[in-house]
Amino acid sequence: MITRRSFIASSSLVGGAALLSACAPAASTPTQGDIVDTAVAAGGFETLVAAVQAAGLVETLKGPGPFTVFAPTDDAFAALPAGTVESLLQPENRDQLVNVLTYHVAPGRYPASSLAGQRGNIPTVQGQTLRIHGASGVQVNGATVVAADVAASNGIIHAIDTVLLPR
């Protein structure tokens, strides 16, 4: 099982551009690369990419996985209180940033079909769980999945409309 310690231990800072967009769901068979490459190709999540880079998690998210990433859109980051993103991106706040980002990553594959109609919890790499409510679409801790099942070779990306904050 992937733990936060092993997830972070395999991280390193590398360059990259945009990560994921809230586009139409991808085919169920991965036609692109890993989670990072797939997200970069989709474009539209520049804030998330900056955060992933600042946290040193790019190489980890390019690793074997499998991972399910609940990826906040740029609009989700923009809805945070003024200065929050800038503060999290400061080197002295790296641990807090890693904590927030790893809360968006579940070890394993959780396609929307396995979440729809369900209620329950799934573990995160950060160590806490996410509450899933699939009665009307799929919600994760109250955030709505706005684009589901963006397939990658090492997992699945679900775009969400809210940044999830661990307890």
Partner residues linked to 155 by β-bridges: 67, 152
Residue 32 pLDDT: 67
Q: What are the start-end ranges of the E strands in 21-74?
A: 67-72
CATH code of the domain made up of 4-160: 2.30.180.10
Half-sphere exposure of 156 (CA within 13 A, CB side): 22
Whole-model pTM?
0.82
**Domain-wise residue ranges, the chain:** 4-160
Return mean pLDDT, the chain: 82
Cα dist from 98 to 15, 34, 70, 135, whole Å: 17, 20, 15, 30
Give the model confidence (pLDDT) of 17-31 as tens digits: 222 222 333 334 434
